[in-house]
Every structure is written in structure tokens, then in C-alpha cells.
Amino acid sequence: AALGAHITFAACDPGDRDAAVALLESVPAGHPLTAVFHCAGTVNDAVVQNLTAGQVEEVMRVKADAAWNLHELTRDADLSAFVLYSSVAGLLGGPGQGSYTAANAFLDALARHRQDRGAAATSLAWGYWDLESGMSGRLTDADRA
């Protein structure tokens, strides 16, 4: 605030298009949206023969559907940043992580799509963060090998 910046943090499930629309409509015209950070993620792992449509939908909704909604709903905004938290799994895959791999590959492709159209876009393909917590907290030594 001392430098004249005004930052508002808002929680929203952007996988719910109506919720995302409502949040974006609440942004005051005098302080337009200038950046989007999509940092959500979830895992629901299963090998292909045990994978259910519900598991795929859950992972895709949180990452891919949400990112697409944010992309479409901010298409005409003058954004300085559109940042997607992806995963190295989108490049390398992992046992039982077909949905997670596909969702993160989608984020990487969406960033490229935006860049090709001259729009702001960065996809950060993160590796493990903290092996004791978060999505990687439940991994065994065999999973990490």
C-alpha cells in the first residue's frame, strides 16, 4: 500500500464456472484484474484398470476445467501475468497418475496456446515441494524412486 499497490486475495473454485464469473464480476472497474494465478491441484491416483470416471473428472475439474474457465473468462482482460501451477508429471507421468499427468499436460498446452496468441501465460512444472506434507506427503520411498 505504501507504493500505491492494491492487492486483493479471493478464494474461489474456478472449476465452477458460475463461481468464477461471480468473482470476476465483483472486481471493481477502478481496480481491474491484472494477473491470474491458478495454483490448485489434487491427486486421485489409480492404475488404468481401476480408474473410474469420477476420479478422472475430479482431477481434471480442479486443474484443467478451472484453467480453461479462467482463460476464457479473462480473455479480454489486459493481464500482465496468467500463471498456471503445473507439474513435472505432465512431462514424465508416473505410475497410477494418468489423470494427473493429463491435467498438467493440459495446463502446459494452454499456456502455449495463450502465448501463441500473444497473451500472458506461464506454466510452472513443479517437482516435489515438501516431501512431508501436501500432495507428496503420502508418498512412500518406492513412489519417490
Domain boundaries, the chain: 35-144
118: its cell numbers: 500473444
**pLDDT string in tens for the chain (145-residue length):** 577 777 778 888 999 999 999 999 999 998 899 999 999 888 888 888 888 999 989 989 999 999 999 999 999 999 999 999 998 888 888 888 888 999 999 999 999 999 999 999 999 998 866 556 555 555 556 554 4
Closest CA to 61 of 39, 41, 46: 41
Q: What kind of fold does domain 35-144 have according to CATH?
A: Rossmann fold (3.40.50)
The three-class DSSP label of residue 42 is coil
The pLDDT of residue 141 is 61
pTM of this prediction?
Answer: 0.81
**H runs (alpha helix) in 1-145:** 17-25, 53-60, 66-73, 89-92, 98-116, 141-144
**Do 88 and 100 contact (CB within 8 A), yes or no?**
no
Closest CA to 6 of 35, 40, 49, 42: 35
